[in-house]
Structure 1
């Protein structure tokens, strides 16, 4: 609420319309941001070899991270994630078009499942640099201005509407809405150097007719959410400011259908 009130005050000082200010706040979603440093319990582990359950087929891409779901603060996201166990994320470095559904991009390992270190070999590439993420922030995550404009006004917004969305974004940042330095984001809205991966997934051919094209606030549109984003950094030198996103329907998270995740890899 403090962050929202600071945003309201900043927006009021710029004479931004209060109705759109409240809509911006309503559209924000809670997110957890994980980073290196700190001395607490590791919340996630990036790189190295994954711990895979016995008999599970080897994923088709490189291991990125394992998130300890029990270590996430309660209410850090609004995703219906399991209360415990580990969420394993996988991504390569090749940019195949704009991405799409990848059945083995995410693996959920329930707590107590026997696992073993499982080296993955893909094209002779070494595993990503292993490190632990012990620091976690959780705070509201606002949409990117262009995404907000598209969802708010639908179709092709007017130039003035895009400008207003940019002004709202600036006011949010000025009011303390900056995301902290982080390596892995769970939930919230994506930060993308190119295009919104949630919009891509929502508008994809297999998204279903009720959520495609022209009706972002219609039935099923809000079911598409960001599961996670990884800032590749120095781990992927062939991508300039590379990021990987995992996007999923909320109902599939609740049903533990992580085989329906869409993944997008891009760079600035």
Structure 2
């Protein structure tokens, strides 16, 4: 384990040991830590993209209809920033809307290779940003963050006791921890003291949301399969894997618009094979709303 990671996670280790969790189990949990990129509107980290702004893509690229949340400059991310096999250059755009819907994906991702000829994507008339019959959606879109994105490099641990460490490399063991719920709680007790507060993240483990005891990646995988079977979502056209171990968290974003009536989180998940192959049409996004 990287000594810097061990030092960063020392508050978690101290808290877990205080709760009488065996030291060897605590250290095995720490060994599952994953790096992530926290995306902020402030701080002194490097600029790695922008929130909002025009969506620029090759001519003819269909607009998803969701508002553009963020554009990430992949070349600006230092190697090892996340656990994900992200492109080394080009632009990754994340689209979504903070409205729960279990029938289909509530977001998309579009990747634009470096050097591609681009133009501003025209926004459809029936999109969330232009639907004049839906004043609430228009107001939420107006509240979305805008401006440059700065990077903070963080480390995350699982927030769910029953998660068997998704997102590891193929063939890696999935450890079974007798005290995993207590370890997850110890992480939640110390996470804010360890990680940077930001609007969004790339990679790592998902923040905790109450999906009936399941993690967001597991929920996204199951909904993707069901939505594809019912014809609500096509993905890449190939059958979506029902095994959540085949999926990784691409990104998450927290929205706190005053027009929501609460907070909402969007989680973009993708199968690792699709990410490696740059098949970003395979992204499936789910929303957790906390009224």
| Global fold match (TM > 0.5) | yes
Whole-angstrom CA distance in 2 between matches of 1:239 and 1:116: 35
Instruction: Kindly provide the CA deviation profile for residues 93-132 of structure 1, in whole angstroms up to 9, marking residues without a partner as x.
Output: 33212x6557x70100001111122342412337554522
Matches within 5 A, 1:108-119: 108-119=111-122
The equivalent residue for 1:229 is 252
Other structure's SS at 1:148 match: coil
Report the count of equivalent residues.
246
The normalised TM-score by structure 2 is 0.73
Of 46-55 and 9-18, deviating more is 9-18
Q: CA deviation at 1:167?
A: 4.5
Whole-angstrom CA distance in 2 between matches of 1:223 and 1:88: 22
The equivalent residue for 2:150 is 135
Matches within 5 A, 1:1-268: 1-38=6-43, 42-97=47-102, 100-101=104-105, 105-120=108-123, 121=125, 122=127, 123-124=131-132, 125=138, 127-128=141-142, 129=144, 131-144=146-159, 147-151=160-164, 161=179, 163-169=181-187, 172-173=190-191, 176-177=193-194, 179-195=195-211, 196-204=215-223, 206=225, 207-208=240-241, 211=243, 221-234=244-257, 237-238=259-260, 240-268=262-290
Whole-angstrom CA distance in 2 between matches of 1:43 and 1:60: 24
The normalised TM-score by structure 1 is 0.79
Other structure's SS at 1:94 match: coil
Partners of 1:39 and 1:134 within 8 A in 2: no
Partners of 1:42 and 1:132 within 8 A in 2: no
Whole-angstrom CA distance in 2 between matches of 1:19 and 1:204: 36
User: 5+ unaligned residues in a row in structure 2: which ranges?
Assistant: 1-5, 133-137, 166-175, 226-239
Alpha-carbon spacing, 1:93–1:149, altered in 2? closer, same or farther (3 Å) = closer
Of 45-54 and 117-126, deviating more is 117-126
Alpha-carbon spacing, 1:78–1:117, altered in 2? closer, same or farther (3 Å) = same
Q: CA deviation at 1:50?
A: 1.0
CA RMSD, aligned part only? 2.9
Alpha-carbon spacing, 1:88–1:170, altered in 2? closer, same or farther (3 Å) = closer
Alpha-carbon spacing, 1:41–1:53, altered in 2? closer, same or farther (3 Å) = farther
User: 5+ unaligned residues in a row in structure 1: which ranges?
Assistant: 212-220
